[in-house]
Amino acid sequence: MKNETLRPLFPVIILFITLNGAFTGGRILLEKWSLNNGVLIMGNLILFIVTLISFFIGRKGLQSGNAQHFVRSVYLSFILKFFILLAAAFAYIMIAKKEVSKASLITCMCLYLIYTFFEVSILMKMAKQKKNE
């Protein structure tokens, strides 16, 4: 990938690296708070990958110049994100059964909001730059 492709994603990449470092380094503290370290790391990884895919779909819709195409790409990225994360949560619940860490799932839901905020703010910034050109 070109540097121009990744440049807008630097905040998301930094967020991913920081969170994984915190989850890895703060394992003992997370266990005190009843958080499952493995669930948080895997949830963060899945959220990062899904956010990248969603960003590229949204950026493609933004570059098309057609407002309807952009709206369809936003809906597609939302639906894609929703079903992938739903499948991941369902798989975790089915595997863990009675040992499900509800606190970890809630933390992953909060991470979803943070990643979505970053993605939307980056796309809005790109839309403003495109409008000003």
* The pLDDT of residue 100: 93
Token pair, residue 88, equals 């991941």
Could you report the per-residue pLDDT of 39-62, keeping only the tens digit for each? 999 999 999 999 999 999 989 988
Report the alpha-carbon angle 122-127-130, nearest 5. Answer: 125
Longest CA–CA separation in the chain, Å: 55
Give yes or no for a contact between 132 and 29, defined as CB atoms under 8 angstroms apart.
Answer: no
Q: Is the pTM of this model over 0.85?
A: yes
pLDDT at 133: 64
d(CA 5, CA 120): 16
Q: What share of the chain in percent tops pLDDT 70?
A: 95
In angstroms, rounded to a whole number, what is the distance separating the alpha carbons of residues 104 and 97? 14
- Residue 22 — φ and ψ, nearest 5°? -65, -40
Name the pLDDT band for 4 (thresholds 50, 70, 90). low
Q: Write out pLDDT tens, residues 99-123.
A: 999 999 999 999 999 999 999 899 8
Q: Cβ distance 105 to 39 under 8 Å?
A: yes
pLDDT tens digits, one per residue of 72-86: 988 898 899 999 999
